[in-house]
Amino acid sequence: MKGHIITLNLVLFLFFTLNAQRHNIIPAPVSFVQTDAVFLLDGPLMLNASPEIKETVGLMRQKLAANGLYISEDQKAKKSLNIEMVKKEALGSEGYQLKVDNKNITIIASESGGVFNGLQTLLQLTSGSTVGGNIQGCEITDYPRFKWRGLMLDVSRHFFTVDEVKQYIDKMSEYKFNTFHWHLTDDEGWRVEIKSLPKLTEVGAWRVERAGKFGEDRAFPLPGEKPTYGGFYTQEQIKDVVAYAAARNITIVPEVDVPGHSMAALAAYPELSTKKEPKFVNPGSKFAEWYGNGKFEMLIENTLNPADEKVYEFMDKVMGELAMLFPGKYIHMGGDESYKGFWEKSKDVQAFMKKNNIKDAHELQSYFVKRVEKIVSSKGKTLIGWDEILEGGLADGAAVMSWRGLKGGIEAAKMGHEVVMSPTTYAYIDYTQGDPSVENPIYASLSLEKTYEFEPLPEGVDPKYILGGQGNLWSEMIPSLPFAFYMTYPRAMAISEAVWSQKKDRDWNSFVRRVMFHFDEFDEDNIAISKAVYEPIITVYKEDLNLIVKLENNIPDSEIRYTIDNTYPVSFGNTYSAPFKVPEGLLSLRTQTFLNGKSIGRSLIIPRSELVKRVVARNKNCFPGSKNAFYVVLNSVIYSGRMLE
């Protein structure tokens, strides 16, 4: 049995749940009824299940044992884990019923996906109960609200090994995600072996080594400098990961990002561009100017030539091999941020447009998308792309992933196309999570609270066209798996609840209390994730000539303490009750959240000079643009590049 330590997070959870019938399950189930039964974790369990289901249980055998549930073949075991496959229309393919009484744990599901999800809930129940050495009796009925519940991992900008990808998938499965969107290609690297196009990985998978933040601080490759950073997945490795995910009820959707974001492909095959100039795989150097409102200019060509028939021969080979590797329904073609300036300057492209009655570059991109859609459909797959594929006319049969707010998704759904909602405003989990004083600066900020507001189904849209929702982890600032987990969770928990749980049952106070327990579980597993939700939200503004600070957070029953006179520890400071004036002088604001007399979250220390800068920033209309960028300054949204709702 896992040796639980009663840490601060568990104390907080018990504090909140004392004398109340609550559970710690994320995402919240459709129905949870607590009973008077108690299942003691005091011996082995006999498994009653079909051979097929025993394989599914085997995947979790070690985790179940760590939580006190020892599966045994001993027919004399006094207790049992019973798993029944019964067709129940209400449960669908992924729903389940779970009952815990004094002697038995029973899971009923229509298909193996439901069994898997039921076992994940059982693991969460045992994680929450092993302090007392038992499981409180309960009856659960549960099924997902949406069929697409996804997370995207960008492995182009930083490469993750097969084992690391599997670890990421493992954690996804614990929160009932069923779609892994694998962003396999971009300007910074081509990560999937295409046997008919060997240069894609021989050349496109490698770039020169650079460190630090993407952009101006990263130098372009020097003459003769060898590319040593990168990697790719062989087709055998791809098949292995696909099978690994499938066993965990997860389908992989591969993405090859075209016609833009293709610098790695053009490094391998420069003849597929308009200028046909030699290229390099971008090491994260600045090669675009962003002007705000989504407008930008590429300084180096990174876009395929849609007027060249050889490009479609290339796409046919790529999509053909992807279709054989990935058995799922969808292939993602990207389609976002395709710079059209080089098309507009090319005499060959302009002649092609005139010949084919294509009036502008948007229609030209639509022509490209429609050609690719035909290629993908010829392989027995459905094309999905970012919402820019709507520009100039959407291809018949294509699905849309809406990232620039919900607008593109709404438009596509009203045209009768399938949609996955993945807006920056709620679902971009590479954005910073807490106060700028303790977070790496990047394009934007996205709190757990804001993520929890995500609603994939807009009013007035036919639900049958909304497949679901997804969170995206772009890896410009994610160089390692530990940091990928830190950035993904707990915001992925909020997304899982948005796409699994019933809308009417979603409640922030309930959710954050359950998150507190899951913090403790991550700590026990030695996985560091963000606890920025604990920390004060600092708003600074001017009132007359005075500098005023407002403090708040969203942790029930907590209090915020602060000092503004350079004294510490902050636990002996003022208890916040109303906005206060910051006096002149060389001093710093110190502030921290407390719950039940205990400090939670990081202590924030911000010099007065920085507070003044925040007021100035808040009053500006925009900041210099950058790829994937919008900015949130003190919860005021200012955007550039990636557009907001």
Dist CA 143 CA 90 (whole Å)? 8
C-alpha closest to that of 631 among 442, 434, 403: 442
* Two structure tokens written together for 536: 């004060």
C-alpha closest to that of 176 among 122, 128, 245, 116: 116
In the sheet where 580-582 sits, what is the strand order?
Answer: 537-543, 546-552, 580-582
Classify strands 382-386 and 399-402 as parallel, antiparallel or unpaired.
Answer: parallel
Catalytic residue among 154, 186, 388, 497: 186
316: Cα separation from own chain's centroid? 29
Classify strands 399-402 and 419-421 as parallel, antiparallel or unpaired.
Answer: parallel
222: Cα separation from own chain's centroid? 35
* Secondary structure (DSSP) of 468-532: EEEEEE--TT--SHHHHHHHHTTHHHHHHHHHHS-GGG--HHHHHHHHHHHHHHHHHTT-----G
Catalytic residue among 23, 261, 332, 518: 261
- What are the strands, taking DSSP E only, across 11-146? 31-40, 45-48, 71-72, 79-85, 96-100, 104-109, 134-142
* Two structure tokens written together for 305: 């030539």
Q: Look up 336 and say whether it is catalytic.
A: no
Catalytic residue among 174, 321, 337, 430: 337
Dist CA 312 CA 378 (whole Å)? 13
Residue that the structure tokens 């069929």 belong to: 147
Dist CA 62 CA 49 (whole Å)? 18
Dist CA 469 CA 334 (whole Å)? 16
Dist CA 456 CA 468 (whole Å)? 6
Q: Look up 535 and say whether it is catalytic.
A: no
Q: Look up 337 and say whether it is catalytic.
A: yes
- Listed in sequence order, the residues at least 6 apart from 355 whose beta carbon sits closer than 8 Å to its beta carbon are none
- Listed in sequence order, the residues at least 6 apart from 613 whose beta carbon sits closer than 8 Å to its beta carbon are none
DSSP conformational letter for 390: G
C-alpha closest to that of 146 among 109, 178, 180, 120: 178
Dist CA 209 CA 189 (whole Å)? 12
* Two structure tokens written together for 201: 């990985």
CA atoms within 13 A on the CB side of 280: 19
Alpha carbon separation from 609 to 22, 545, 582, 585, 586 (Å, rounded): 45, 15, 11, 9, 8
* Two structure tokens written together for 595: 């719950």
- Degrees to nearest 5, angle at CA 608 with 601 and 639: 75
Dist CA 33 CA 2 (whole Å)? 26
Dist CA 624 CA 502 (whole Å)? 40
Q: Catalytic residue numbers? A: 186, 261, 337
